Structure 1
Amino acid sequence: MDVDNSPVTTDDFYQTLVENAAEGMLTIDENSDIVYANPAIEDILGYTPEELIGSSKMDIIPERLEPVHTAALKSYVETGERNIDWNGIELPALHKDGHEVPTLISLREHEHDGDQYFTGVIRDISERRQRENQLQDQKERLDEFADILTHDIRNPLSVAEGYTKIAREQRDSPELEKISDALTRIDTLVDDVLELSKEGRSIGETDVIDVGESVREAWESVETRQATMLVDDDLGAIEADESRFQELLENLFRNAIDHAGSDATVRVGLLSDELGLYVEDDGSGIPATIRSDVFGHGYSTHRDGTGYGLSIVSQIVDGHGWDISVTEGTEGGARFEITW
């Protein structure tokens, strides 16, 4: 068997690198004609290299931007002055099927046989743009929460705190102390969410916390009526924003009691792999057809519900980098599973 031991030339080596690069590459001459395109460009713009080579780069430029590109290239060829960031500029490119693709383009200039060429390394940033839009939507929802907290909750909360203070001065009772504690907790949550809205984030500083203790404190902070909570003996510890984690649990408990009834049984325990937590009730459950909707902002199946509870839960889960899903509980009720 003959073996080819001939050395690989430098040109062959770099050609292989370019042909197998994950980023798209286009080279144009000073007339904006495409002289080279690598295979990765097809994944981004839908064109094969053969379809692009020999055509004008204007074929992949949205029509509204063609004059800008033409003027920018002409200006640089004549003056040598760069009026854009060559290390990375975000520009839309036109896909073969007609839709626009957000891209990040890095440019380089080089000469060959006395001719001037420009090569662009093109990255599809659709996913990044989508994440940015999601973060913006999240910020807008936080702003909505802040408006509700500031205008619709803060004022009656202040009134309730004032009357509770007067009542405690006139009469010392454990019930009034619990009311005062609950109002203080609400006031803390209002401050937290307002602060989060200003900073545009969904969690604050994290620390290692006892999950079981947070579960018990959250249960005591909710109007549980005749409901019963069953908890695993050891829920372990987790790194989290303690206040926001407790708020997450409070909303899940409140949701269970609102939908399963005042005498509901709520179970809390570790998932089988101990990498998460479940909260389930013995109510009628959540139909499979709407399980993907329940975390939406403003979505509620309860007549008096605001639709904020599970939306806040989802937001806190996302902020910690966890995942949450809803399924059927062991007794047919709703079961929320948080994995971290």
Structure 2
Amino acid sequence: MSAEDDSIAVLYVNDEPELLDLLATGLERNAERITVSTAESVAEGLAHRREHAVDCIVSDYSMPEATGIDFLETVREHDPELPFVMFAETGSERVASEAISAGVTDYVIEQAIGNQHELLARKIATYVDRRRAERRAERTNRRLRELADVSDDVLWMFSADWSELLFINGAHELLFGQPVDELYADPDSFLERVHPDDTPRVRAAMARAAGGDSQSVEYRVRQSASVEVWVESHCEPVVEDGEVLRMTGFTRDITDRKVHERELATTNEQLEQFTSTVAHDLRNPIAIADGHLELAREAFDSPHLDASARAVERMDELIDDLLTLARTGTAVGDAEPVEFAEVIRAAEHNVATADATLTVDRTCRIECDATRLKEAVENLLRNAVEHNEAAVAISAGILPDGGGFYVEDDGEGIRPANRDDVFDDGYTTVQKGTGFGLSIVSRIVDAHGWAIEVTGGPDGGARFEVTSVDCCDTPRAPATAGD
């Protein structure tokens, strides 16, 4: 806050000029923030207030024509909250009672001996700062309510035990089909709109939140006898010193998302049935062709038969990769924390690495679908082995900032001109490749909400970096077999 914003403009009204000058000088000397303007009558004080901004009024009681009480009552008609201190020469219960009834902020008896300027300056600063803080809070609350009123989400706040509704915006009535006043009267009444099959889950989430745990729960709401929607509620308990003070959160309509999920599940099921049928229908003739070729090679020695056998083997590889790509889709299963080094080692067992070596630099637990991540790593390892004629050294680990992981090799690398194409379906630079391995990797990475980039490794090979991955703990060296 600047010195100008922190300044306090005081108006002091007294019909005795000497007292005016004395108090004004004393207040300004005891508080640099305070600037005092003076008036010798109530009429002059009212005129000053109309023309100038005033943060606090200090007034004598006994003045000709109009008293300090008259002044206070007039001020209160226009500003009920303006700090007003009655600085009276003598104490009187009647005057004090009238002042309190009229809304005085403080009643101070002027002492004949002793410097009261420091005390009065401190009182003035306290009352003005309090009023400014209240006004800032009022402005903030007003803006928050304005934002809440235009939000499509239901914003709410309950007491710690859910027994009292502290705040809710108008979106509740649209989403739950229930008047807000009804919910204020009975904070549990929204549960009557929840589908009976989902009510136990909602109550359980509320109980866990009351224990201090953040919660997220999806459930159905019956807006009316014929309309049912899916909603998602997020609750964040407000906890101080280990005690839950209140519940804050929001509820939003996720019906469209649920419909999309059902459609996606149906599509994936149909795709699975289709790919299984295709696999069966394709593999049968390939198996027959392979069997006859084997018999023919026993009876005849011809390079044409060898070429045909390689073609059949190639077709079998293509079918495997195409089926994997079709089944990959864009969805992932339930995520759980998985040790990165364990995923790398599990993938190594499923890949024919020949003379290649594999080391893991750093590891941490990653929130992911472990099966899908292992599938992606298998394809990265297979890519390093199959795209290099000589044996390569492969390394994997967590990125320095903990925001992802890498897999790299010291082989021939990928030319910069080709790096934008390697994740395309069917792209390959070797005769025996199908061009679907890295495409599968890309889809799995995208399904997790991550990002992947290929660069050059420090030893000239290919380096794949997967980013936007959060480690669940501090990256560390992987455990050895003896640990």
Report TM bin, short chain: 0.3 to 0.5
Q: Scaled by the length of structure 1, what TM-score is found?
A: 0.44
Select the structure of larger CA radius of gyration.
2
Q: Scaled by the length of structure 2, what TM-score is found?
A: 0.33
* Higher relative contact order, chain-length normalized (CA < 8 Å, sep 6+): 1
